[in-house]
Amino acid sequence: MKRLAVLLCACFFLLFSGVAFGVPREAPPPGKVWIEVGGAWIAVVVPPGDGPFIWRGNKWILDTAPPPPGSEWVPGHWVPGRYKGSVRGEGHWVAGHWEAVPLPGKKAKWISGHWKGNTWIPGHWAGGPPKGKKWIPGRHGPGGRWISGHWR
């Protein structure tokens, strides 16, 4: 019984300390982002743009690998905690990743973001938008949180 109690305590500690999930527990310092290196999270200078980059040898380099079809690049960003009643929940870090873009109709064609030289060209739609709709590209919102591209 004592072993079970110790095991449960250890599990709760890991669960609530962030160690089990291996995620940063606080926002990165100003002008920095979190990256994972060798299983540890470190704060490094912000990438020079919103496109996909790889941290290599203490600097950012362009990630020129082709994106998954029908996807948009979401840069790494901090999501602040939110209030639930009078209690503020913890914030969390979202690492950069590719995210599927919702198709608005059968005729829509998504052109995935890509590099043109050293310039990132964000993903966009070919042809006209659906009637009465406008594509709002992904962008940084209040507090640095990423707002994915969407139809409005």
- CB 81, CB 74: distance < 8 Å: no
Q: What is the pTM of this model?
A: 0.70
CB 91 within 8 A of CB 40: no
Q: What is the pLDDT of residue 132?
A: 81
Tens of pLDDT, residue by residue over 21-72, are: 567 888 889 899 999 988 889 999 999 988 999 999 899 999 999 899 889 9
